[in-house]
Amino acid sequence: MSTPSPALPDLTPAQRTEVELLARGKAEKSRTLRDLSQPETPEAAHALLLRLGLWDEARTPYADRLGAALSSVALPVPDFADEPRLDLTHLPAFAIDDEGNRDPDDAVSLEALSGGLTRLWVHVADVAALVPPGSPLDEEARARGATLYLPDRTVGMLPDEVVERAGLGLHETSPALSISLDLGADGNADAVDVHLTRVRVTRLSYLEAQERLEAGEEPFVSLARLARASRELREGEGALTIDLPEVRVKADERGVVVSPLPKPEMRFVVQECMTLAGWAAAIYGDDHELALPFATQDAPTREVRGDTLPAHWARRGTLARTRFQPAPGPHHGMGLDLYAQATSPLRRYLDLVVHQQLRALLTGGEPLSGKAVAERVAQASMNADATRQAERLSRKHHTLRFVAAQPEREWEAVVVARRGPQATLLIPELALDVPLSTPAPPGTTLRVRLEGVNLPLLSVRARVAG
């Protein structure tokens, strides 16, 4: 004879509010949970709210707990000033991104030069023209650190109106801050420069750009050739390649879709162009003694060879976190002697600071001091860390919802690491790692079932199928 389940309590409105505050990380204690002999933790409060049907499984509390802003920015946005700009509208420029991207902030174009050189232009939305240092928009963006991308919504670092005005390719022509590199066939840069420009941009998805590359169209063929040469140079300087599965997670109240992120060559071409732009911006800033939030990274703790999933997994673990500082230093993971993130000012606050500093130099303004940049790095980094953690936890939450909706499904998993009897399995289709007690060595592929999904604890059990 089975033991009956304990009756679920009826909560008064005040008790519900109290439990929800704990679940959201806005309170540290709950008399209601204590009276129910439950732990006074956010996870226990979350579990109770699910059992009572007061929250549904689509509700994610992580951004709330971490203090990430969940409301849109409601501040006025100025118009672009009428100022001199280099006219580059004669150069075909392409903003290449994921299908459905709504904040296009970078584009690329090529210009043939004499002497066998090719000028790579990386055009970036001139957000700093609308968001000067110390403005209310700047302070709000600094308080957020980055745009928050959740599976069920996006919360911008800046108002949507900034995106609508500054996004590349959203109008016939766009104001931009453009970074140029004069590259040889071997990928070496002969010169770098930065200009305020006006550009004409066509938007493409990665797959559309890939089709043009495979059809032999320019400038895509030349972009790919330069990107390969640049990558080889950086690898010769110790740059690491880490290629792990990535997925796109989309969710709402009805359910979740987890789909593998396509990785055509053009994705890596664009990434290499953005890396080159960050390198060039750092060189330009350093040459002009400009304080920027330079990105630095210590050398890997050890060398990991190979191109297998376990090798890529282990290689990621050898890297220290990227640090930002107002003076240049090497970024070992990228194989660069100096670097600054400069191509996403609509989405990352420190990229915006890079633009504010470059714009001040170009227009004869007064750049921020090293001390002021360091203060911005400290605040924005802390807030951006909370944003990134909220994104990671929310993606895992909805991925586990996706798993729970398919209890009989078997998943292919690869052993990527082990410690004693415990192995770490990576499920490429979900970009999800799970523990499992198995003697299987790294590199072994197993068929597993995922059971016992616990959303409040973000946990799931794996067992070998069959």
Global confidence as pTM: 0.94
Q: Which of 85, 31, 23 is nearest to 52 (CA)?
A: 23
Residues 6+ positions from 359 with CB-CB distance below 8 Å:
126, 128, 129, 177, 196, 365
Which pLDDT band, with edges at 50, 70 and 90, does 5 fall under? very low
* DSSP state at residue 115: G
Q: Which two tokens stand for residue 205?
A: 């998805």
DSSP of 231-266 = HHHHHHTTPPP-----EEEEE-SS-EEEEEPP--HH
Pairing of the two strands 153-155 and 148-150: antiparallel
User: Which residue in the block uniquely carries the two structure tokens 């940049």?
Assistant: 373
Residue 6: the pLDDT is 59
Q: Helix crossing, 206-214 with 265-287: angle to 10°?
A: 100
- Predicted confidence (pLDDT) per residue in 179-213, tens digit: 999 999 888 898 999 999 999 999 999 999 999 99
CA 399 to chain CA centroid, nearest Å: 18
Which percentage of the chain shows pLDDT scores above 70?
98
Q: What's 305-373 look like in SS3?
A: CCCCHHHHHHHHCCCCCCEEECCCCCEHHHCECCCCCCCCCCCEHHHHHHHHHHHHHHHCCCCCCHHHH
Looking at residue 8, what is its pLDDT?
75
C-alpha 76/C-alpha 6 separation (Å) is 54
pLDDT at 379: 95
| Alpha carbons 212 and 219: distance in angstroms, whole number | 9
Residues 360, 365, 370: CA angle, nearest 5 degrees: 65
Three-state secondary-structure class, residue 280: helix
Which domains are delineated in the chain?
13-55 (1.10.10.10), 86-398 (no CATH), 406-464 (2.40.50.140)
Q: Does residue 15 or residue 190 have the better pLDDT?
A: 15
Q: Is the pLDDT of residue 1 over 60?
A: no
Assess contact for 251 and 58: CB atoms under 8 A.
yes
pLDDT tens string 50-104: 999 999 999 999 999 999 999 999 999 999 999 999 999 999 999 999 988 888 9
Cβ neighbors of 179 (< 8 A, separation 6 or more) are: 121, 122, 124, 192, 193, 194, 277, 280, 281, 284, 342
Q: Using CA atoms, how far apart are residues 361 and 287, in angstroms rounded to an integer?
A: 12
342 with 354: CB under 8 angstroms?
A: yes
Phi, psi of 85 (to 5 degrees): -140, 145
Q: What is the pLDDT of residues 410-445, one digit of tens each?
A: 999 999 999 999 999 999 999 999 999 999 999 999
Q: Is 124 helix (H, G, I), strand (E, B) or coil?
A: strand
CA dist 322 and 76 (Å) reads 33
Burial of 244 (0-12, 13-18, 19+ CB in 10 A): middle
pLDDT tens for 203-251 read 999 999 999 999 999 999 999 999 999 999 999 999 999 999 999 999 9
Considering Cα of 406, then 411, then 415, then 417, what sign does the dihedral take? negative
Residue whose C-alpha is closest to residue 170's, from 118, 105, 121: 105
- pLDDT over 50 at 328, yes or no: yes
